[in-house]
Structure 1
Amino acid sequence: MSPFKSLDYESPSSFEDHVNDDSAIVDLLYPSMDEGLESNNVEIIGSCNGLICLLLCDTDKISLWNPSTRVSRDLPNLTCNFHNDCPIFNGFGYDSINNTYKVVRGTSDGIVDVFSTSGKRWRRIQGFKDISIFDEEQGVFFNGTLHWLGYNDINGTKKEKTIVTLDLGQETFGVMKQPILEHDENVNFHNVGVLQGCLSLLNKGNGLYYEIWVMKEYGVISSWIKLFVLDIDDFEHSGYVDPICFTKNGELIVDNEGYQLVRYNIEKKTCQTLMNHSDGWFQQIVYIQSLVSLYGNVI
């Protein structure tokens, strides 16, 4: 059985009743992987234009995969191993300036390597200083840029929580301020994402609710707005939620603590389970079907 599954979240079916559409959840075949591979040995780095970037944890191998064409590409090993004691962050996205896809790996001390699908080897780029990225963060691609949560060191004495950015075309790092709140005692922003075509953040408030924030105009700090609030009690697993995307009729697809994918009706405050994984934790990412090639420049 394949450890990878595709879920059509627009399907009317649910975990409790698949009669409406028994093809809503299908197995995905990954050609270059060992038959005995388990999903808990794989990390999803990112998704872009129908391509998915995966990290095989046992071998530290990175692979690109197009589920629609069933084609995969294993990337070459890094020429230089990172320090074992340095947390690693990753990212995957599209460089429209150079018409290529890029995979990024870096460490907390500013060592950053990039692989382009139009090339054959990893190369080191200018890293960053006075910035740190949270441990084992996977970058979120939006507007030609990768985004991670991290800290901005101010005068070497104060650390300010921020969004760390990497422009894939220019290959330059920067920072972007999080929403500025008058009362910050209940501020705990996490989960960078993309919702309704905007960069998004999730704030777990005082532990009783989740606030979803979006940046209506990219790069403009004053355009951060609170989209709506989720009550923790509305979800079966209250410790963690990750808003993924909206359906066409305005319902929110939510990863509920890695055990469930649910369709949340914001007005009725009800959840419909789409996928249940009670035996363990799963990962998810949104992808579109495409015929994009894994080799060379984008056609």
Structure 2
Amino acid sequence: MLFSKTNTSCASRIQFLDNVEHRCQSMLKLNDQRVNMQLSNEVRPQIVGFAGGCSRERESSVTSSSGLSSKRSCFMSSCYSKSERKACRDPCDVKCCDGEDNRPPYTRIMPEDRRFGVVITNEECPCDCEFNCILEFMAEAFHTTQDVASLNFSQCTPVAEFDCSLLLVAEDSDSSDWLLRVARPMCPPYRCTSFIKHFDLVRCTFVIPMIVERRLCNVFQIFENQNCGLDTGKWCVMEMAPLDICSDTYASKVIFPDSINYEIVAYIDNESKEYIEHHCSKLKYITWHLPVDFPEGLSCT
């Protein structure tokens, strides 16, 4: 009887030790094992989004009719939908053009934002560069304006002086119209006009093949580098839209069909117009010569 109990006790102890050893070996295997976690397609973009914010490594490959495959990297705005671009846009990002400090202040403004500029000059005394009274007058206008919260001004160059002129830059047409409307009681001796009218800019259209998506600042910088003597610092872009491949005019306007071709409507200074006309009404851009059209009978607005 005692022998039977002893055997049973030893057997139980041996079973317990075997279980402990098995668990220990299992734990050691888990520690040594490299687990390859495969994330589902639904989960992976969420993880990437939390870790890195807006991904810049996404690519889309487009195969052209000629057999060429053009890859547009993901930092390009054309790769994203409108909702993605809005989500990826940094609200604290101040958009300015890079350039030399000795150039006029309006050259730092994005070409698509220059049209919202307002220029104030002293007609009676053009050499008078004192504008403190104008700024004081504008400050009083802000106190009496009911919709002042809806006004938006450039963070890049809101106020600047050049050639005894005062430049005020808004971010939209409503704000620039407000500036022009408020400034009317100051005239004379001061004259307040839009940026386009102040420089007497002329309208033109041209098409840019965006092989790599870039800001217009960078594109115009290439214009200046390749077209010696050209200055795009006053150019105002009014419209920028991709060519419609279904349009009847697509074949006559397209520059390079394997890329996105943007039609630009801009107002440029007369010096630039003369330069372009002197060079067969074309602009050098990378390997192309872009035709520039100057519609007759259209004055600046």
TM-score range, shorter chain: under 0.3
Q: Rg: which structure is higher? A: 2
When normalised by structure 2's length, the TM-score is 0.23
Structure that is richer in strand per residue: 1
Higher helix share: 2
